Amino acid sequence: MRLATWNVNSLRARMDRVLEFMRRSEVDVLAVQETKLADAAFPVQPFEELGYQVAHHGLNHWNGVAVLSRVGLDDVQRGFPGQPGYGDPAVVEARAVSALAGGIRVWSLYVPNGREQGHPHFDYKLAWLKALGEQVSGQLAADLDAALVLAGDYNIAPTDADVWSVEYYADKTHTSPPERAAFQGLLDAGLSDPVRAFTRAPKTFTYWDYQQLRFQKNRGMRIDFMLCSDAVRDRVSGASIDRDERKGKGASDHAPVLLDLLDTAPPTGNAR
């Protein structure tokens, strides 16, 4: 089974590219972020014509997340218990949706950006991640064999190797100690980053800003992840970042991340 995650930065603007990517990549389950669509405006039919079922969570023209699956789609959950809101009054934004797809609970997550250190949105980001970690811990405590994939745009580069310049980001969000500690909290809750083992080349990123020829100069960040529970990690057979999708006219500023799974885990003696 092949899973993928992609922040498309407006599905309306990238629709043709997304459909072509799905045809070309033979992806079975795609987690999408930043659809920037309300549920009523989501273009379900083109995906159904390709054989995909759709679970979308969008409230307006901001945020928006989706899980698209051609291996089944059941028990859709929008948001998660304890998910904090933002603003006054606090609004629980459309940043999380999950469904059972091919026997795996796949989450599509769009973690708050944080804007800048000291901003209320930064505190919101940390609270959001804390609540997500508590949700994961609870699920895995109840079922150690739970098959989970938390796919999405985390807006965190967890190590210095995940940014083009440590100095550039020294006083910015995405690399601060509190954010990295929050990401580590998800790993401590029982998740792992299997993509890293397949993308160890220097300067392997998933996001490049549109400004200042960042993509052409490969001045990017690795902030898109597919964090997996052990039950999924042991089935991983490959992973890649489709950098070509960041090229050309009308590209998103993110590239898709792909994860390939075996039908079953290998024998215990051969498992990673």
**pLDDT tens per residue across span 178-202:** 999 999 999 999 999 999 999 888 8
- Please give the Cα distance from 11 to 36 (Å, whole number): 7
Tell me phi and psi for residue 170, to 5 degrees.
-60, -35
Catalytic one of 52, 110, 154, 207: 110
β-strands 53-57, 236-241 pairing: unpaired
Q: Which two tokens stand for residue 76?
A: 């859709």
Q: Which two tokens stand for residue 96?
A: 């999380």
pLDDT at residue 18, rounded to an integer: 98
Using pLDDT thresholds of 50, 70 and 90, give the confidence band for residue 272: very low
3-state helix, strand and coil shares in percent for the chain, rounded to the nearest 5: 30, 25, 45
Full-model pTM = 0.96
The per-residue pLDDT of the chain, averaged, comes to 96
Name the burial class of residue 141, with classes exposed (0-12), middle (13-18) and buried (19+) by CB atoms within 10 angstroms of its CB.
exposed
pLDDT, average across residues 39-51: 98
Does the pLDDT of residue 237 top 70, yes or no?
A: yes
- Please give the Cα distance from 67 to 77 (Å, whole number): 11
- Please give the Cα distance from 144 to 126 (Å, whole number): 26
Q: Which two tokens stand for residue 39?
A: 């549920």
In a 3-state reduction of DSSP, which class is residue 32? Answer: strand
Q: Which residues are annotated as a binding site for Mg(2+)?
A: 7, 34, 153, 155, 253-254
Total domain count, the chain: 1
Using pLDDT thresholds of 50, 70 and 90, give the confidence band for residue 136: very high
| CATH of residue 183 | 3.60.10.10
Percent of the chain with pLDDT over 70: 98
Write out the residue range of the structural domain in which residue 90 sits.
2-270
Are the beta carbons of 224 and 259 closer than 8 angstroms? no
pLDDT, average across residues 220-236: 98
Does the pLDDT of residue 31 top 80, yes or no?
A: yes
Q: Any catalytic annotation for residue 110?
A: yes
Q: Which two tokens stand for residue 178?
A: 């509190």
Vertex 20: Cα angle to 205 and 36 (nearest 5): 70
Using pLDDT thresholds of 50, 70 and 90, give the confidence band for residue 269: low
Are the beta carbons of 93 and 59 closer than 8 angstroms? yes
Q: What is the pLDDT of residues 52-109, one digit of tens each?
A: 999 999 999 999 999 999 999 999 999 999 999 999 899 999 999 999 999 999 999 9
Q: Which two tokens stand for residue 229?
A: 């529970």
Catalytic one of 52, 57, 153, 224: 153
Name the burial class of residue 75, with classes exposed (0-12), middle (13-18) and buried (19+) by CB atoms within 10 angstroms of its CB.
exposed
Catalytic one of 56, 57, 174, 254: 254
pLDDT at residue 201, rounded to an integer: 84
Q: Which residues are annotated as a binding site?
A: 7, 34, 153, 155, 253-254
- Please give the Cα distance from 110 to 191 (Å, whole number): 17
